[in-house]
């Protein structure tokens, strides 16, 4: 009897473990993040404009968003959005946030990018999605491209 049980149980177990995945990846499927502009306000201050795109047919409510930004390969700093953000279905949402954590190397990279007028960026975003009541899921997004950098 044990001989006949293995061919039935093993495929069922494999199918079960293969279906296990990170729920946050499923929830954030299709969402995109990009930087639309950077304004350097001083030696150790900058504002970053960013856009979140939702091509899906469902709306999202984010309770917390954190962006980690690199400019021309140099870690620039972090934007920490603690205000709730609603993102309707099939829409974009553009925001501006203050960059924190600018060290001297990041300030130099930002100043060089402002002189050049543009730079390549990498943005890594952690989204906390409010699903229902107090049920929350974290999702990770990343984006890269080229952005204009200006002095204020």
Domains of the chain and CATH, by start = 22-151 (2.60.40.10)
Contact 73, 113 (CB under 8 A): no
Adjacent-strand bridge partners of 13: none
Angle at the Cα of 19 (from 13 to 25), degrees rounded to 5?
Answer: 155
Tens digit of each residue's pLDDT, the chain (152 residues): 556 555 555 455 444 444 444 444 456 688 999 999 999 987 788 999 999 999 999 999 999 999 999 999 999 999 999 999 999 999 999 999 999 989 999 999 999 999 999 999 999 999 999 877 667 888 899 999 999 999 98
pLDDT number for residue 95: 95
Element (H, E) at 74: strand 74-81
Region of 63 on the Ramachandran plot (φ > 0 left; ψ -120 to 50 alpha; else beta):
alpha
**Residue 59 phi/psi, 5° resolution?**
-90, 160
pLDDT number for residue 100: 92
Characterize the bridge pairing of strands 60-71 and 85-87.
Answer: antiparallel
**In b/e form, how buried is each residue of 80-102, taking b as 16+ CB within 10 angstroms?**
ebeeebebeeeeeeeeebebeeb
pLDDT number for residue 81: 94
pLDDT number for residue 3: 60
Number of H helices, E strands in the chain: 3, 8
Predicted TM-score of the model (pTM): 0.79
pLDDT number for residue 27: 65
Q: What is the DSSP letter of 104?
A: H
pLDDT number for residue 1: 52
pLDDT number for residue 144: 97
Burial group, residue 10, by CB count within 10 angstroms (0-12, 13-18, 19+): exposed
């Amino acid at each position: 009897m044990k001989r006949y049980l293995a061919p039935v149980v093993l495929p069922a177990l494999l199918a079960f473990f293969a279906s296990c995945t990170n729920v946050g990846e499923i929830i954030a499927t299709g969402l995109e993040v990009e930087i639309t502009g950077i304004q350097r306000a001083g030696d150790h201050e900058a504002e970053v404009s960013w856009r979140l795109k939702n091509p899906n047919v469902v709306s999202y409510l984010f309770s917390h968003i954190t962006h980690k930004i690199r400019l021309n390969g140099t870690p620039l700093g972090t934007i920490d959005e603690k205000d709730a953000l609603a993102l309707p279905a099939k829409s974009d949402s553009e925001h501006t946030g203050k960059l924190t954590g600018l060290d001297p190397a990041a300030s130099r990279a930002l100043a060089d990018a402002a002189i050049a007028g543009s730079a390549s960026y990498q943005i890594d975003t952690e989204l906390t999605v409010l699903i229902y009541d107090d049920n929350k899921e974290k999702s990770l997004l990343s984006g890269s491209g080229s952005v204009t950098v200006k002095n204020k």
